Structure 1
Amino acid sequence: MKILIATEKPFAPAAVECMRSEIQKGGHEIVLLEKYTDKSELLSAVAAVDALIVRSDKIDAEVFDAAKQLKIVVRAGAGYDNIDLEAATKHGVVVENTPGQNANAVAELVFGLLVFAVRNFYNGKSGTELQGKNIGLLAFGNVGKNVARIAKGFGLEVYAYDAFCPADVIEQAGVHAVANQDELFATCDIVSLHIPATPETRQSINYELVNKMRKGGILINTARKEIIDEAGLLKLLTERSDIKYITDIKPDADKAFAALEGQYFSTPKKMGAQTAEANLNAGVAATRQINAFFADGCKKFQVNK
């Protein structure tokens, strides 16, 4: 079988070599397409391969139409909204992700950004400490659990809401479960977002919800840009100079947010999974899942069921 690794933003060289080794162990052939600049390159590369590994590359209906032999696509990461699941299913292609492989990297970034925010973006003025404050986690999946673990080390009280995670599971992790996201925002000094972009969550973080936060609240988004109602959040930040918004996903209205001095910070590009460890973990996990799929039909991480 031919396995294509197609990445506009490549894996680290060390990760690629480990992935190559895993693919060869499975008796398959690796094909590399890195730093491509035109979609036509991707369409040409997928034409004769059986499996595809991507990062944030957009895999739409046109790609599936071109990939006549394709049987499986694995997104090396947790989110998979860059892949057209309906088109994949129509073409009989299994789509998988690699949940948990980037979780610690994202969680550590949350606290790097938080310390930066509470110290007034290192502008030399007196800031505050995290210890003793309440942090709320909107979703309690792999990333949320890692954020909770680190938060306890900072002396934070941790709260969480997850529509798909039972309250007793949250409580067993030593985290306070709340009844809904409204209560989470009203209870916490800091809210960290870890929800996917779905029809239900898109633009759900809006004026009314964030306005429930306490004075001096911090909203941090290392999840997806689409979950933020940018117009509503901008309006709120204009009205409430006490609230800060920090993210590793540059919003469409970046210039408007940046004009709110002392209230906003975004990294130049998405940074959550940008560690050597996460890069390696996600890439190797993707190759192992493909090997398992071809060896015995394993579809444990399929997302287009």
Structure 2
Amino acid sequence: MRALIIDRVSEVIASGLREFGVEVDIKILPSVDELKELLPDYDLLIMRVDPKIDREILDTAAKRVKMIAVCAAGTNHIDLEYAAQLGIRILNAPGINCNAVAELTISKMLDLSRFTMEGNREVQEERIWNKYKYTGHELKGHVLGLVGFGKIGSRVAHLAQAFDMRVLAYDPYVDAAAMEEKGVTKMETMGELCAASDYISAHTPLTGETRGMIATKEFEQMRDGTILINCARGGVVDESAAKAALTSGRLAGFSTDVLENELAGKGLGDNAKLESNLFGTKGFTVSPHIGGSTHEAYDGIGEHILSGVVEFYGLAQKAK
């Protein structure tokens, strides 16, 4: 059996598979054309969220690949329906990196509230030391509205409550009683959430239902000076509408860990170049999809993926 790893994932996976006699090759972030050439030689593909696995790639994979193991929660980059038709099993890792993403969310809330990134740039690049310029807000006493209340949203709520924030959530698939158990108030509509929140944070997968769910209408319903965080998926927030909201002052800040166009058609290699009309907008900050990028999260996901692969293929460990 042969496995191909195409992204930086926990060493737990490669070392564990080799203990079961699997031949493991690693090719970090190949282009789409390279990947199509490689796949017919492998039984298992291990990846994260790039490149987009469309019908063309799946047709190539189907010659031999029986499973695609995704070292992430989201699978919106894969044509799941077509993969199922071809008999290719998709294994992902929902919820395992929830604490890593939740901590980054809180970090972004603090950075925007206290202007830490702007202050750092001004001191280091312009040598200006003005301690009166950046007067911000504490999280304590403010209202956080969560869009999505799964494992990550629940963890963000828990951390926010440690800062003495009041937490609201909009999620039509979670009932009020389940939220109430965690000290969170359920909002019945996005409009209600937007109108009542000082901070809004997205924690929902990207689907046809959630694409663009935070757009012009929602920004118009927000309070002036709202802070928005997106550590979910690019496309959940309408970026053009977000730029307009920042420019008008409706948003005091918008920090995202994801972008609409990050799943480039030919795949993203190291130091890939991306463009966004948000770049350079006052109040906007961005990180390159690092929400789940901690050693602890990588290893937890690695153990989950290894276990799932071993079970699916019925692997037996080599005698030592």
Give the TM-score, by structure 2 length: 0.83
Equivalent position of 2:292 in the other structure: 273
Calculate the aligned-residue CA RMSD, in Å: 2.1
- What is the alpha-carbon distance in structure 1 between the residues aligned to residue 27 and residue 252 of structure 2? 41
**Which of the residues 290, 309, 319 maps onto 1:290?**
309
User: Which letter maps to 1:97?
Assistant: N
- What is the alpha-carbon distance in structure 1 between the residues aligned to residue 161 and residue 275 of structure 2? 32
Equivalent position of 1:198 in the other structure: 207
- What is the alpha-carbon distance in structure 1 between the residues aligned to residue 250 and residue 187 of structure 2? 27
Equivalent position of 1:257 in the other structure: 278
Matched, 1:135 2:144: yes
Q: Which moved more, 1:112-121 or 1:238-247?
A: 238-247
Tell me the CA shift for residue 60 of structure 1. Answer: 2.0
- What is the alpha-carbon distance in structure 2 between the residues aligned to residue 128 and residue 134 of structure 1? 12
User: Which letter maps to 1:19?
Assistant: I
Whether the 8 Å contact between 1:160 and 1:175 is mirrored in structure 2 is yes
**Which of the residues 194, 202, 212 maps onto 1:185?**
194
Matched, 1:52 2:71: no
- What is the alpha-carbon distance in structure 2 between the residues aligned to residue 142 and residue 291 of structure 1? 25
Is there any run of 5+ residues in structure 1 with no aligned partner, and where? 297-305
Q: How does 1:1-305 map to 2 (within 5 A)?
A: 1-7=1-7, 10-11=8-9, 15-16=10-11, 18-25=12-19, 27-57=20-50, 58-67=52-61, 68-122=63-117, 123=119, 124=131, 125-240=134-249, 243-250=252-259, 256-261=277-282, 263-267=283-287, 269-295=288-314
Tell me the CA shift for residue 36 of structure 1. Answer: 4.1
Tell me the CA shift for residue 62 of structure 1. Answer: 2.1
User: Which letter maps to 1:202?
Assistant: R
Closer/same/farther in 2, CA of residues 256 and 63 from structure 1, 3 Å limit: closer
Closer/same/farther in 2, CA of residues 52 and 255 from structure 1, 3 Å limit: closer
State the secondary structure of the residue aligned to 2:167: strand
User: Which letter maps to 1:282?
Assistant: I
Give aligned pairs, total.
Answer: 287
Q: Which moved more, 1:245-254 or 1:193-202?
A: 245-254
Q: Which moved more, 1:287-296 or 1:54-63?
A: 287-296
- What is the alpha-carbon distance in structure 1 between the residues aligned to residue 98 and residue 214 of structure 2? 22
- What is the alpha-carbon distance in structure 1 between the residues aligned to residue 139 and residue 181 of structure 2? 23
Whether the 8 Å contact between 1:98 and 1:282 is mirrored in structure 2 is yes
The C-alpha deviation readout for 1:148-203, integer Å capped at 9, x for no partner, is 11111111111111121122111111211111221111111001001111111111
Give the TM-score, by structure 1 length: 0.87
- What is the alpha-carbon distance in structure 1 between the residues aligned to residue 90 and residue 276 of structure 2? 36
Is there any run of 5+ residues in structure 2 with no aligned partner, and where? 120-130, 262-273, 316-320
Tell me the CA shift for residue 24 of structure 1. Answer: 3.9
The C-alpha deviation readout for 1:46-87, integer Å capped at 9, x for no partner, is 213222211112222222222212211121111111111122
- What is the alpha-carbon distance in structure 1 between the residues aligned to residue 64 and residue 235 of structure 2? 32
Please identify runs of 4+ aligned residues in structure 1 that moved more than 6 A. Answer: none
Identity over aligned residues, as a percent? Answer: 32
- What is the alpha-carbon distance in structure 1 between the residues aligned to residue 73 and residue 140 of structure 2? 30
Closer/same/farther in 2, CA of residues 221 and 39 from structure 1, 3 Å limit: same
